[in-house]
Amino acid sequence: MSDSNSEQDPDIRSRAIEAYDSALDSASGAGRRAGDTIAEAPLIALGAGAVIGALFAAMLPTSLRERALLRPYGNRVTGAAREAADAARRAGSDKLRELGLTPDVLADKAGEAAKATAQAAIGTLRDEAATTQPRKR
């Protein structure tokens, strides 16, 4: 038995060495390809790295210290967003007034439209009633 084991040992050893060399070549080839890709498109690599970093950061819970440090920035961003929304609302209102579309004018126009619609509906009902009334004999 020891003779067959000693004969198989060199075969197993050579296959293990070949597998190791193959894995090493594959790993170094992958590293070279990654390096070539980064050299060809550094902005894409940077973006991919940022996305991966953001995903990892999103999975980690925030600490009390992080919350305390970031709260002022969050408050500033929120305040700036509110100010921008208020400015947009004011600008929109000013533009509508410029065009003569004040709340009073819009209410009057809506009232006129409702009155005209109601009158048209009443006229249509009268016409239908006149044509569908049975004739007297």
**Co-location of 2 and 55 in the same domain:** yes
Q: How many residues does the chain have?
A: 137
Element spanning 81, H or E = helix 64-98
User: Would the pTM of this model clear 0.75, i.e. be above it?
Assistant: no
**Co-location of 95 and 107 in the same domain:** no
**Co-location of 52 and 71 in the same domain:** no
**Co-location of 72 and 20 in the same domain:** no
**Co-location of 44 and 87 in the same domain:** no
Tokens of 59: 């999975």
CA–CA distance, 34 with 49 (Å, rounded to integer): 13
Return the ∠ at Cα 115 (arms to 109 and 117), rounded to 5°: 100
Higher-pLDDT residue of 8 and 58 is 58
pLDDT tens-digit profile of 10-48? 788 888 888 888 887 777 777 777 777 777 777 887 888
**Co-location of 55 and 78 in the same domain:** no
Print the domain residue range for 88: 64-99
**Co-location of 40 and 52 in the same domain:** yes
The pLDDT of residue 1: 47
Overall domain count for the chain: 3
Provide the phi-psi class of 65: left if phi over 0, else alpha when psi is between -120 and 50, else beta. Answer: alpha
Residue 62 three-state SS: coil
**Co-location of 43 and 77 in the same domain:** no
**Co-location of 7 and 39 in the same domain:** yes
**Co-location of 54 and 94 in the same domain:** no
pLDDT tens-digit profile of 99-115? 888 888 888 888 999 99
